[in-house]
Structure 1
Amino acid sequence: MPQVTVTIAGKTYRMACGEGEEAHLEGLAALYDGKIEEMRGAFGEIGDMRLHVMAAISIGDDLVDVRRRLGRVEAELAELKELLLAGDERGQFQERRLTDAALKAAERLERVARSLSMQPHAPSTD
């Protein structure tokens, strides 16, 4: 199992991860370290444990917000899919109506053409 060395709040940690997940773990550690530094800049030296807890809660809050927005986007996407499906069904219905109307018109034209071809021709006056 691969191992990665990360630095968080000035302390080095060696961590195991899944194959191919090294860069992801390093990125997560950098995100957390950055959040701790952000908290330290905003609140000063208030104790490492408190900074870690505040950073973790802040990241958790971001995650909850993203999940909430993702839920809204997924609901909107489902709505749009339903509208698209309903529009597609309406389009198919209109297409069937147009096809039926065209077939009926063609049948009428054929009847008219047959009736015209059966009528005797008037003698030509040439």
Structure 2
Amino acid sequence: MANVNIKFNGKEYLLSCEDGQEEHLEELSSHLSQKFSSLKNSLGNIGENKLLLITSITTMDEYFETKKKLEKQKIEIQNLISKFKELKSLVYNYKDEKEKEILKLSDNQTKLEFEIQNQKNNYEDLIDTATKEIENFIQKNNPDTNIQ
């Protein structure tokens, strides 16, 4: 245990704290002393006990207001976390849907490419057949012509 000399309202007090907490105790004491002095200046000398009580109540009020704000912020953070999770889920669902659409479009593209190639082959076969039939027709109707 460490000992710290604290000056409060013109008097010195020896307080104990855990090792390493000396600076923190001095900071708390300084804050309390400032609050006490401020109240003493604004309210006048109404007695040390009453000023200590008012200082304690004021400090507790600040503590509880801070605690309420903290609880409110925790709730807001939980709401944000919940909204974030919902948004994350929506993003992943959207991504999955788009990947399915891309796959479907890719399959359709492959089918269309295959169909185009088949149509091209059929067209070439049709042209070849028509050309042969025209050549045969010309040869039959005009035996003197030699077409290549």
TM-score bracket, shorter-length normalisation: over 0.9
- 1:82-97 matches, cutoff 5 A: 82-97=82-97
Equivalents in 1 of 2:109, 2:36: separation in Å?
82
Match of 1:50 in 2: 50
Moved more, 112-121 or 49-58: 112-121
Match of 1:111 in 2: 111
CA distance in 1, matches of 2:2, 2:106: 74
Any idea what SS the aligned residue of 1:4 has? strand
- The answer to which of 112-121 and 8-17 deviates more is 112-121
Structure that is richer in helix per residue: 2
Q: Distance in 2 between matches of 1:27 and 1:91?
A: 48
DSSP-derived class of the 1:19 partner:
coil
Look up the match of 1:71: 71
Question: RMSD of aligned C-alpha atoms?
Answer: 1.4
Measure, in 1, the Cα distance between the counterparts of 2:65 and 2:93.
Answer: 42
| Structure 2: gaps (5+ residues) | 129-148
What's the secondary structure of 1:6's corresponding residue?
strand
1:41 partner letter: N
**How far apart in 1 are the matches of 2:83 and 2:19?**
43
Q: 1:2 — aligned with what?
A: 2
- Provide the residue aligned with 2:21 in structure 1: 21
Alignment length, in residue pairs?
Answer: 124
Segments of 4+ moved more than 6 angstroms: none
The alignment status of 1:102 with 2:102, answered yes or no, reads yes
Give the percent of matched residue pairs that are identical in Structure 1 and Structure 2.
20
* 1:99 Cα deviation after fit: 0.4
